C-alpha cells in the first residue's frame, strides 16, 4: 500500500501475521499455558528470566543492598588528576571521579535505568496499542489516518526522533521516557493492527459475528486477546532497546540532570572522560546495561519461539 520504509513495515506486519496464524493450544492447554510450559523447559529462556529477576530484585531492594550512600563523596583527598582510587577496604569497586562509591551507584542506578526502560515501554505500548486497536477495529478511514500518522513517525530514524522529542520537552527524566516511548509507538501500533487484521478473518471471529455478537465484544473479547502475543514479545525486546537508547540519549547530553539519581547511561557517559585513568568506571555500568539488555533479549526471543507454532515440538 504505502511506499516509505515499506520493507520495515512489511517485517512488522509479517511478524503480526505469523502470530495471527496460531491455532488453539495443543492438547487442550491454552496458548499461554503451553507457551509457559515450553519456556520453563528452555534453558536459554531461564537464563534470561533469571537475569531479569535478579536485576529487578536489586532495583527493588537497592537501599538495603547498597553498602554506601550513592551521592556522598568519600576519599576526596586521594583523588587527583590522573588518579581515581580503585577497589579497596569498604569500596569493593572503588569510587568514581567525585569520590562516590561505584558499587552503590551501580545498585541505585538499576532503579533508574530499569524504571526508564519499563515506563517508556509501557507508555509506548499503551499509546501504540490504542492506535493499533483503533485502526484494527474500525478499519476504513480511521485506519488510513492512524496508519499514515504512524508511518510519518516511522520515517524518522529512531534516535533522531528521540532527540527531537527530548530537545522539545527539555532535559529531565520524564522527557527522556517520553522520547523513548514515542519511538516505540509506531512499532506497537502496526504490530497490533496487523495481528488484529489477521485475527478478524479467522473462523471464530466470523462465527461470533454470525451468532450476532456485538462488534465491541468481538473486538475486545475475541480478536484483541488473541492478537496480543506478538505485542508482548515486542514489548520484552523493547525493554532492552529502551535501556540502551536511554544510555545513548544520556551520552548526547539529553539525560536526566538530577545528580541525586544515578543512572547507568549517565554514569557511562560521564566515565568516558576518565577512560584512560580508570576504564572500570565505564566498564561496570556498560556491563550492567549489556547484561540486562541481554536478559530481556533472550527472554523475548525465546518467548517469540514459544508462541510461534513453527517452533512447536
- If one asks whether residue 97 binds other proteins (CB under 8 A), the answer comes out as no
C-alpha angle 240/241/245, rounded to 5°?
125
- If one asks whether residue 163 binds other proteins (CB under 8 A), the answer comes out as yes
Q: Which of 46, 65, 66, 286 touches other proteins by CB under 8 A? A: 286
In the complex, least distance from residue 153 CB atom to other proteins, rounded to whole angstroms: 8
In the complex, least distance from residue 155 CB atom to other proteins, rounded to whole angstroms: 5
Centre a 10 Å sphere on the Cβ of residue 256 and count the other Cβ atoms it contains.
23
Q: Which of 63, 90, 157, 225 touches other proteins by CB under 8 A? A: 157
Q: Which of 96, 151, 263, 308 touches other proteins by CB under 8 A? A: 151
User: CA-to-CA distance for 87 and 73, rounded, in angstroms?
Assistant: 15
Find where cell 526502560 sits.
Answer: 117
Residues 6 or more apart in contact with residue 106 via CB below 8 angstroms: 93, 262, 264, 267, 284, 285, 288
Decide if 124 contacts 182 (C-beta within 8 A): yes
The smaller minimum CB distance to other proteins, of residues 34 and 270, is found at: 270
User: CA-to-CA distance for 298 and 52, rounded, in angstroms?
Assistant: 10
The smaller minimum CB distance to other proteins, of residues 137 and 268, is found at: 268
Provide the grid cell at 158. Answer: 529512531
Find where cell 496464524 sits.
Answer: 21
In the complex, least distance from residue 154 CB atom to other proteins, rounded to whole angstroms: 9
The smaller minimum CB distance to other proteins, of residues 122 and 153, is found at: 153
Residues 6 or more apart in contact with residue 54 via CB below 8 angstroms: none
- If one asks whether residue 21 binds other proteins (CB under 8 A), the answer comes out as no
User: CA-to-CA distance for 198 and 236, rounded, in angstroms?
Assistant: 22
Which of 27-35, 76-84, 148-156, 210-218 is the region at the interface with other proteins (rule: CB under 8 A)?
148-156
The smaller minimum CB distance to other proteins, of residues 10 and 214, is found at: 10
- Contact residues: other proteins, CB under 8 A: 2-8, 11, 148-149, 151-152, 155-160, 163-164, 167-168, 170, 240, 244, 247-248, 251-254, 265, 268-269, 272, 275-276, 279, 282, 286, 289-290, 293-294, 297-298
Amino acid at each position: 500500500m504505502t511506499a516509505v520504509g515499506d520493507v520495515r513495515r512489511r517485517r512488522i506486519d509479517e511478524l503480526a501475521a505469523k502470530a495471527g496464524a496460531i491455532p488453539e493450544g495443543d492438547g487442550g492447554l491454552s496458548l499461554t499455558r503451553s507457551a509457559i510450559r515450553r519456556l520453563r523447559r528452555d534453558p536459554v529462556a531461564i537464563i534470561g528470566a533469571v537475569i531479569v529477576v535478579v536485576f529487578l530484585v536489586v532495583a527493588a531492594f537497592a537501599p538495603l543492598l547498597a553498602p554506601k550512600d550513592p551521592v556522598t563523596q568519600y576519599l576526596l583527598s586521594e583523588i587527583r588528576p590522573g588518579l581515581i582510587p580503585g577497589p579497596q577496604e569498604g569500596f569493593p569497586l572503588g569510587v568514581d571521579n567525585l569520590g562516590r562509591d561505584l558499587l552503590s551507584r551501580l545498585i541505585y542506578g538499576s532503579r533508574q535505568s530499569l524504571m526508564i526502560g519499563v515506563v517508556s515501554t509501557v507508555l509506548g505500548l499503551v499509546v501504540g496499542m490504542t492506535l493499533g486497536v483503533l485502526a484494527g477495529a474500525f478499519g476504513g478511514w480511521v485506519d488510513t489516518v492512524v496508519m499514515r500518522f504512524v508511518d510519518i513517525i516511522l520515517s524518522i530514524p529512531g534516535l533522531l526522533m528521540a532527540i527531537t522529542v527530548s530537545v522539545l520537552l527539555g532535559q529531565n527524566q520524564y522527557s527522556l521516557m517520553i522520547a523513548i516511548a514515542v519511538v516505540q509507538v509506531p512499532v506497537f501500533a502496526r504490530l497490533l493492527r496487523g495481528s488484529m487484521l489477521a485475527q478478524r478473518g479467522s473462523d471464530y471471529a466470523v462465527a461470533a459475528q454470525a451468532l450476532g455478537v456485538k462488534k465491541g465484544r468481538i473486538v475486545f473479547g475475541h480478536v484483541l486477546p488473541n492478537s496480543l502475543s506478538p505485542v508482548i514479545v515486542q514489548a520484552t525486546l523493547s525493554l532492552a532497546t529502551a535501556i540502551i537508547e536511554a544510555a545513548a540519549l544520556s551520552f548526547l547530553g539529553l539525560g536526566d540532570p538530577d545528580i541525586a539519581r544515578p543512572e547507568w547511561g549517565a554514569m557511562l557517559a560521564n566515565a568516558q572522560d576518565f577512560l584512560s585513568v580508570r576504564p572500570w568506571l565505564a566498564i561496570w555500568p556498560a556491563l550492567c546495561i549489556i547484561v540486562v539488555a541481554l536478559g530481556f533479549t533472550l527472554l523475548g526471543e525465546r518467548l517469540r519461539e514459544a508462541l510461534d507454532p513453527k517452533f512447536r515440538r
